[in-house]
Structure 1
Amino acid sequence: MKLSYKLLSMSAAVAMSTGLLYGVTTSTNLPINQKAVHAESASKEIIFQAKSGFDAKDYIKSIGGSIEQEVDLINGYIARVPADRLDQVKAQNGITNVSESHRVESTTQKIGEDNVIGKALGQRNTHNELIKATNVQYTGTGVTVAVLDSGVGAINELNVTKSVAINPDATTTTDLYGHGTHVAGIISGDSIHTGVAPNTNIISVKLGTDGGYVDEVDLLLGLQWVFDYKDEYNIKVVNLSVSSTISQSYLDNPISAAVEQLWLNGVIVVTAAGNDQYNQSDINYAPANDPFVITVGALDGEGEYSASLTKLASWSKFGVTPEGVTKPELNAPGVDIVSYLSSETAILAKEHPEAVYNNNYIEMSGTSMAAPVITGAIALLLEANPDLTPNQIKYLLTQTAQPTATAGSNIIDVEKAIGLAKNKDYLNNLNLSNYNNFEQSQYINPSGNTVDYSKLSWHSLEWLKLSWHNVDWAKLSWKSQWDSIGQSLNN
């Protein structure tokens, strides 16, 4: 079931020119500068599930709260409750998996530095050369990517086919902050600073306010929008250059449940590893810590064209989560990346004038910049072979990656990955079981059992409201034991 969206859809061009809002009912319609204060004082915005037969709406109302949205993607609710009743809600027998909605931040480490912008603009970005994407015959034609970020500006070289805004506090679908446009340009820019896959279609899902404030409710509803419209717009990849600000197991996080649902329904989710120059191993933040996504670390090419000379950026996160998931799986250039600026009046342009060039470009560094390099590479692979599954994509890119100057931080090799992507015999014999033997989020698998999707053993999995027909089985081409498919979902 699709969410109840506030306004009817129209073309991206009309939306950008008129400033009209696409939105869903999320949090209260407070002024931008009051939202965080309100959330941390009088009330709390939460995401939760309810047990079968429990009247969650009546209960939340009885304690002075309100249900703001049902979220079918995770079979849950978004509610606002009095702050002094939060512990009561968590202890209520009919309610499960309560999670507060925390702030979500972009994963940009730095924006411009003296003398660096000039160096970067003295030549083309080197990331396409470093990942060996310059000599391939593919450009992402026919592939659609959803960019969940601060919006995407009206850039002629970007093929933005749809723009929506999730947060009702946003006044326009366009990018008044400056981050999302930069990210989209890395994926599909087509100018002197060329994107990885310049013919890719971009769908812009603006998450937060015009000022760049985003919380987990915004991100969750953005992911719900993608799930609702993935078939209508043929969305194959989602780029998330964002991170939660609270360390939390992926098993307990509703964002993790949402990205897992997309992954298991054939949508490839690419997310930034995050940045921390003081504690690089602090990797336990959603959605980067989830095993059912591709997490991307940032490499520093230092202006070189040789992949072997690149090294992991000093702030790019890496490590093993408490659940034993090694992150990131992939790495790509993410330092001193020049891409489109949404507007010379964008917030980031005003805050960092030293990073702006000719009012059209801005230089940024971060895993926010590395993730869209991978997203663009995936668009190339999907043009070469549209039938590739998320697990196959992950396998191809990890197995063909090449060593860098930092041990264990290999860089993708697009040419080699595409070569294997077109080899049907090779794909048919892949053993992808290692990608599937992970426990899922408690929002999806309350029993806490490890689910082996290579065997499709569904007796241990409670899909809640995700019905059998909603899973596109034709695209779940893991090595499967189809004789087990007869086991029921009734438990």
Structure 2
Amino acid sequence: MRSGGSRRKVRSSALWGSGKRETGSRSNALWGNGKRRTAVLTTLALSLIVPLGAAAGPSQKTDRAEAFVAPGLLSAAQASAGKTFSVIVQGKGGNQAAHAVADALGLSLKSARTFSSIDGVAVDLTGAQILALAADKHVAAITADARVRLAAATTSNDKWPFVTGVFKYWASGATPAAPAATIAVVDSGIDASRPEFAGRIVANVNLSTLPGNSPGDGRGHGTFVAGIAAGDYAGHTGTAPSAKIVSLDVMDDQGMARTSDVIAAADWILANKAKYDIRVANFSLHSSVANSFMYDPLDKAVERLWLNNVVVVAAAGNYGSPTGPSGVPYAPGNDPFVITVGASDTGRSVSTNDDVSAPWSAYGYTLDGFAKPEIAAPGRYMVGPVPVTSTLYAERPDHVVEPGYMELSGTSFAAPIASGVAALILGRHPEFTPDQVKGALMVGTKQMPNAADLSEGVGEINAARSVEAQSPPNPNLALDAFLVSDPGTGTRSFDAASWASKAKADASWADASWSAASWAAASWSSASWASASWSDASWASASWASNAEASASWAEMSLGSASWADNAGGETPVLDAGAIDAAELAAVLAGTLDP
């Protein structure tokens, strides 16, 4: 039980450090500890004090900056005033970002990219221009436009549909597949010629601004993701085979995207959600730059979708370690509103009793103290469709299990299972809000007794329990208290400043989310998750975050890097590791074995 009195004198937080405030002692993921503290404090102090001129010397005038500038970007801009950086400038509402860029710098907006989901502009600026713009009172934040990385009767030879229970919603005999909402897949595109999607891809949009992006799906990743979410083909059926699909191609043939391209996809979904009845958006990708959700433009874009009745599902990432928590610092999986999905290894049977967290599946706390992921789904040794002309197919021939199908691993392939189940929930309950869908997914999970604490959130997804949930609790209830409405448009947004002030003063602010009696229906303890869902102390000394913030080169490296790498990508394929045993399949279908 938390004690309110002592908390106000001694704090230990993902944002504000630990120790007595009076002494200024800091020890946490943002501030670091020990000798690292000085470097981090210096870097963060520079994010608040920005010279107006390029490479200002000691005698030149400096003013207090109005805007937040990502520390690594700030250091790079100060060191290289004439170098060009791709950035996203965020304003304070009302299209102020565009006006600030145009007025303060005299730049034509023809060379910039504006958005509707955020007050922001993607533009190339020199280091000197970044420093000058940071002092503009209309600018809220300047962050890197960083690269984004990838994470008849219906049948399946794969184990995961039976572990998760999604097979119960497939067509059987004269019974059609259960209805499901439309899913938008923000990825590398989808090969619409594949039989898995016959007639169900209702829109195919290319939003990638990077060179080297082939029509359809040149990478192959998006087709695989869509196959897991909603494919319909004998032997390899997806989660929700009746769902319509919208393909939003934001990646080049190497599996890379710019943050602004992904935000543009969120814009497109927002503008077209009514036309295509889009209720779920899958993001099997993550940014390459660690950031607070309060400042990251991609986080703000997916929050806008969430608050406009679109369920957002994000992959946790494949940068985890079997030795302990990695943290989840990258957008959009670091956003507390959205559903972040970790990957499980289904073991040797369909029972969750032998399931464990995949060794590379990221988990832990975000830079703002939120535990991620919330749920897990199978993501190891998955089999799915991949175009034979794609770069993924060519790069990993040892992963090809049959023509046009590959065995791959990653949280990228766990997320679409959650997206498919979310679509099934909305097919049954179209009146549910995104908060209720998230609650249904969480309350329906089954525990994994062999998984490390927090590695799989509250447990592994169970479709039947989630789809049948009638009055799911709201896991975002405490966050919803900080929603504000624009008096002119009625548009809702999250007041991050008010949240930060409240969280700083009261460590029990998040408890409201877990007070609902309906959590009692869960197989896990809502009381235990309540104490872990937001932490002001548990990862205070984590070195991964302080290392990232202390390094002045991390942002510049991510801006210039086009490499795609993850811990799951190099995993050796295991023949039939994800296949279901024939005897188990017969028992599951007969109803004598319940996973």
Contact 1:280-1:315 at 8 Å conserved across structures: no
> For 1:180, what is the secondary structure of its paired residue?
helix
**Ranges in structure 1 where 5+ consecutive residues have no aligned partner:** 1-39, 108-122, 453-491
Deviation at 1:194, TM superposition (A): 1.1
What are the equivalent positions in structure 2 for 1:39-118 lying under 5 Å apart?
A: 42-50=83-91, 55-59=99-103, 61-62=105-106, 67-107=111-151
Which of residues 246, 251, 256 in structure 2 aligns to 1:213?
A: 256
Structure 2 residue identity aligned to 1:155: R
Structure 1 residue identity aligned to 2:194: I
Structure 2 counterpart of 1:254: 297
| 1:203-247 residue CA offsets vs partner (Å, 9 max, x unmatched) | 000003344330101111111111111111110000000000111
> For 2:226, what is the secondary structure of its paired residue?
helix
Matched, 1:166 2:207: yes
Of stretches 275-284 and 362-371 in structure 1, the one that deviates more from structure 2 is 275-284
Which of residues 380, 405, 408 in structure 2 aligns to 1:335?
A: 380
Return the TM-score normalized by structure 2.
0.61
Structure 1 residue identity aligned to 2:237: T
Structure 2 counterpart of 1:411: 460
| 1:143-178 residue CA offsets vs partner (Å, 9 max, x unmatched) | 210000000012122121110000244665400111
Question: C-alpha separation between the residues in 2 aligned to 1:141 and 1:219?
Answer: 28
Deviation at 1:291, TM superposition (A): 0.8
Which of residues 319, 322, 326 in structure 2 aligns to 1:281?
A: 326
| 1:340-364 residue CA offsets vs partner (Å, 9 max, x unmatched) | 012x221011110001133210111
Matched, 1:180 2:212: no
> For 2:169, what is the secondary structure of its paired residue?
coil
Structure 1 counterpart of 2:342: 297
Which of residues 184, 188, 199 in structure 2 aligns to 1:150?
A: 188
What are the equivalent positions in structure 2 for 1:343-362 lying under 5 Å apart?
A: 344-362=388-406
CA shift in 2, pair 1:227/1:451, >3 Å = farther
> For 2:218, what is the secondary structure of its paired residue?
coil
> For 1:236, what is the secondary structure of its paired residue?
strand
Structure 2 residue identity aligned to 1:238: A
Question: C-alpha separation between the residues in 2 aligned to 1:331 and 1:338?
Answer: 18
Structure 2 residue identity aligned to 1:161: V
Return the TM-score normalized by structure 1.
0.74
Among all aligned residue pairs of Structure 1 and Structure 2, give the percentage whose two residues are the same amino acid: 30
What are the equivalent positions in structure 2 for 1:288-327 lying under 5 Å apart?
A: 288-327=333-372
Question: C-alpha separation between the residues in 2 aligned to 1:413 and 1:367?
Answer: 17
Matched length: 391
| Greater Cα radius of gyration, structure 1 or 2 | 2
CA shift in 2, pair 1:329/1:211, >3 Å = same
Structure 2 counterpart of 1:230: 273
> For 1:373, what is the secondary structure of its paired residue?
helix
| 1:343-402 residue CA offsets vs partner (Å, 9 max, x unmatched) | x22101111000113321011101101000111111111111111111111111111211
CA shift in 2, pair 1:323/1:315, >3 Å = same
Question: C-alpha separation between the residues in 2 aligned to 1:446 and 1:271?
Answer: 22
Deviation at 1:67, TM superposition (A): 4.5
> For 1:376, what is the secondary structure of its paired residue?
helix
Matched, 1:448 2:493: no
Question: C-alpha separation between the residues in 2 aligned to 1:412 and 1:186?
Answer: 14
CA shift in 2, pair 1:296/1:250, >3 Å = same
CA shift in 2, pair 1:403/1:75, >3 Å = same
Structure 1 counterpart of 2:593: none
Contact 2:148-2:287 at 8 Å conserved across structures: yes
Question: C-alpha separation between the residues in 1 aligned to 2:423 and 2:100?
Answer: 42
Question: C-alpha separation between the residues in 1 aligned to 2:474 and 2:331?
Answer: 29
Matched, 1:129 2:162: yes
> For 1:305, what is the secondary structure of its paired residue?
coil
Deviation at 1:318, TM superposition (A): 1.1
Aligned-residue CA RMSD (Å)? 2.8
> For 1:395, what is the secondary structure of its paired residue?
helix
CA shift in 2, pair 1:170/1:232, >3 Å = farther
Which of residues 413, 421, 442 in structure 2 aligns to 1:377?
A: 421
Deviation at 1:448, TM superposition (A): 0.6
> For 1:74, what is the secondary structure of its paired residue?
coil
Question: C-alpha separation between the residues in 2 aligned to 1:372 and 1:130?
Answer: 15
> For 1:130, what is the secondary structure of its paired residue?
helix
Question: C-alpha separation between the residues in 1 aligned to 2:254 and 2:196?
Answer: 25
